[in-house]
């Protein structure tokens, strides 16, 4: 998990990455590669040598850090500091809608083209930083220096729209995170897929990071013996128009890209899915150059994958009251589906 520092300058920003107990002894370059998968090891090594990477060793000050090298071993409790120059970022959609708010909760309807947290090319154009900047404006302080904080209770992909829960304190966040981990939440998604699935079906297939794909973000189904993590999703067909169907998805687990992978595994890939809905040579062009070939664009049909987090049920972190937050199918997906035969 990363936390944004308050040490910002006019043209730079710093992100802190906490080193967990299971990462004790990890090489610095290996740790960075886990967080910056698209960057080469040589580029990360240069960043270390140029002083863009630092280590805060607050919990073990008796262990001297020394001059940083790619091979520097990290200690549990360290914070790895990555300083970057502020650059122009791709435009995003900040038109989120507040679905519920009280003293501890801040639940929003996230639009499709909005990253939730800083990652890759996105820092300021993310929901978390935007909220912090807006809080600073209200408090008449400098951007990112407000005392008002928001904590992510869970995550959804940049292109996925729908219900997203944030909290206003760390304790409430930990409570909801635990509910997700203990499977005490109920999640419902809407998706538009190719083909006509059965009225109801379920996929129980473990998921892990792909061992064969050239795209580091790609996941795939594999056995537990091969390293797959248990994953299960129930699906229900709502309607079919022409060659496409609107389905409901109920993930029992919360693996990365789970619904998209399980739908594709069943033979019904999501419309607009750049990672699991087109051949890998098309996908590589997008992930390497952030663009698609005309053939891939024509095959995708819409500019984002057709997945929407429509309903989330959980216990309020302080009152314990069971609550459900809903978000209807957004207009872009509704219009696409209604336009089919």
Q: Where are the domains of the chain?
A: 2-85, 97-338
- Given a cut of 90, whether residue 194 has pLDDT beyond it is yes
One DSSP character per residue, 301-331 reads: -SSS--EEEEEEEEE-TTT--EEEEE-PPPH
Average pLDDT value for the chain? 87
Q: What is the C-alpha separation between 88 and 246, in angstroms, rounded?
A: 37
CATH fold of 2-85: 3.10.290
At 303-335, the pLDDT tens digits run 999 999 999 999 999 999 999 999 999 999 999
Q: Which CATH superfamily is domain 97-338 in?
A: Pseudouridine synthase (3.30.2350.10)
CB 161 within 8 A of CB 330: yes
pLDDT, residue 40, reads 82
- Cβ neighbours around 202 below 10 Å, total: 13
Question: What is the share, in percent, of the chain residues with pLDDT greater than 90?
Answer: 58
Place of tokens 């049909």: 301
The mean pLDDT of 243-254, rounded to a whole number, is: 97
Number of helical (H) and strand (E) elements in the chain, helices listed first: 8, 16
CB neighbours of residue 235 within 10 Å:
25
Angle between helices 41-49 and 28-35 (to 10 degrees): 120
Q: Is the pLDDT at 67 greater than 90, yes or no?
A: no
Q: Span 166-183, mean pLDDT?
A: 95
Least confident stretch, 38-52, 65-79, 271-285, 286-300 = 286-300
pLDDT in tens, 30-53: 999 888 877 888 889 999 998 889
Q: Are 159 and 186 in contact (CB under 8 A)?
A: no
């Amino acid at each position: 998990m990363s936390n944004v520092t308050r040490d910002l300058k006019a043209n730079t920003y710093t992100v802190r990455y906490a080193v967990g107990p299971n990462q004790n002894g990890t090489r610095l370059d290996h740790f960075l590669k886990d967080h910056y998968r698209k960057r080469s090891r040589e580029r990360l090594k240069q960043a270390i040598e140029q002083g863009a990477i630092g280590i805060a060793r607050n919990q073990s000050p008796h262990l001297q850090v020394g001059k940083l090298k790619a091979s520097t071993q990290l200690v549990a409790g360290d914070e790895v500091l990555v300083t970057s120059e502020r650059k122009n970022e791709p435009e995003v959609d900040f038109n989120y809608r507040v679905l519920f708010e009280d003293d501890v909760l801040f639940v929003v309807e996230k639009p499709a083209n909005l990253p939730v947290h800083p990652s890759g090319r996105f820092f300021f154009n993310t929901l978390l930083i935007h909220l912090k900047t807006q809080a600073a404006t209200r408090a008449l302080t400098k951007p990112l220096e407000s005392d008002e904080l928001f904590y992510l209770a869970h995550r959804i992909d940049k292109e996925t729209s729908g219900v997203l829960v944030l909290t206003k304190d760390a304790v409430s966040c930990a409570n909801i995170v635990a509910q997700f981990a203990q499977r005490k939440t109920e999640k419902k998604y809407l998706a538009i897929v190719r083909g006509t699935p059965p009225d109801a079906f379920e996929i129980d297939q473990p998921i892990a990071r792909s061992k064969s794909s050239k795209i580091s973000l790609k996941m795939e189904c594999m056995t537990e013996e091969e390293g797959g993590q248990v994953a299960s999703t129930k699906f229900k067909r709502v309607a079919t128009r022409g060659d496409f169907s609107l389905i409901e998805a109920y993930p029992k687990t919360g693996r990365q890209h789970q619904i998209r992978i399980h739908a594709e595994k069943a033979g019904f890939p999501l419309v607009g899915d750049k990672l699991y809905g087109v051949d890998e040579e098309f996908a590589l062009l997008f992930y390497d150059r952030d663009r698609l070939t005309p053939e891939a664009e024509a095959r995708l049909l819409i500019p984002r994958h057709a997945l929407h987090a429509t309903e989330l049920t959980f216990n309020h972190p302080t009152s314990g009251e069971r609550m459900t937050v809903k978000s209807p199918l957004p207009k872009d997906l509704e219009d696409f589906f209604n336009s089919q035969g």
